Amino acid sequence: MKKHVICFGDSNTHGYCADPADCADGGDRFNENERWTCLLQKRLGEDYLVLEEGLSGRTTVFPDALHESMPGLDTIYSCLMSHEPVDLLIIMLGTNDTKERFAANAPAIAVGMERLLLKCKSVPAWGKGGVNILVICPPPLGAGFHDEVMGQGCVEKSIALPPYLKAVAERNGVHYLNAAEAGCEFNDVDFTHLTCRSHAALAERLAALVPELLAE
């Protein structure tokens, strides 16, 4: 059986493109030759099955009164069980958690990630290697960015988030990657979504990292 790698995240895992000029098809979603999940599949090859589980607006644990089914905590059980056996779970969340309406600072967002991790570890869907999770901290929102939907303070919270997520990952014995340090950045249109170049950079970094994580 192939190695099952689940990519669980928000619009940046789904592949939303806010800049049509940056997307080959000129639409609002990067295509299969651009999304980091699909690029990762191509780089890893036929021994792996990379599963896209990206939902625009998804948070770690925070319910959103404006949209349905946003907390990752509410859907992670069914996600893991539907793809069992799971060899690696990649979680990239935190951007939406910075929204002003959730009133969560960086430490609270990290606690939300920890609660999600504890739930993941309890689900009986893991392969022979046992629990294997990689937490990716998203890049920070663009400096000076303000949007009525995201609200005030989101930039500052996103900038402060990396050390808190890293500490949570270490405390829970899971892997950690800072997307910004892997060459990822958000566009200069809405400042909340990865550029095409960043999708490629993340795929390249993960293509080298994933086999290492599955060899442990």
Question: Residue-wise pLDDT tens for the chain (216 aa)?
Answer: 999 999 999 999 999 999 999 999 988 999 999 999 999 999 999 999 999 999 999 999 999 999 999 999 999 999 999 999 999 999 999 999 999 999 999 999 999 999 999 999 999 999 999 999 999 999 999 876 667 789 999 999 999 999 999 999 999 999 999 999 999 999 999 999 999 999 999 999 999 999 999 986
Residue ranges of domains in the chain, CATH in brackets: 3-215 (3.40.50.1110)
Contact 88, 130 (CB under 8 A): no
**Strand 88-92 to strand 133-137: parallel, antiparallel, or no bridges (unpaired)?**
parallel
Query: From CA 86, how far away is CA 80, in angstroms rounded?
Result: 7
Residue 139 to residue 159: CA distance in whole angstroms: 8
pLDDT value, residue 148? 78
C-alpha pair distances (Å), 158 with each of 36, 50, 51, 105, 197? 21, 27, 26, 9, 21
Residue 95 is predicted with a pLDDT of: 97
* Distance in angstroms (rounded) separating the CA atoms of residues 81 and 53: 13
Please give the pLDDT value at position 216: 61
Number of other residues whose CB lies within 10 A of the CB of residue 115: 16
Residue 82: CB atoms within 10 Å: 12
pLDDT at residue 143, rounded to an integer: 78
Strands (E), the chain: 3-9, 48-54, 88-92, 133-137, 175-178
Indicate the pTM of the whole model.
0.97
Grouping H, G, I as helix, E, B as strand and the rest as coil, residue 82 is helix
What's the confidence (pLDDT) of residue 93?
Answer: 98
Strand order in the sheet with 175-178: 48-54, 3-9, 88-92, 133-137, 175-178
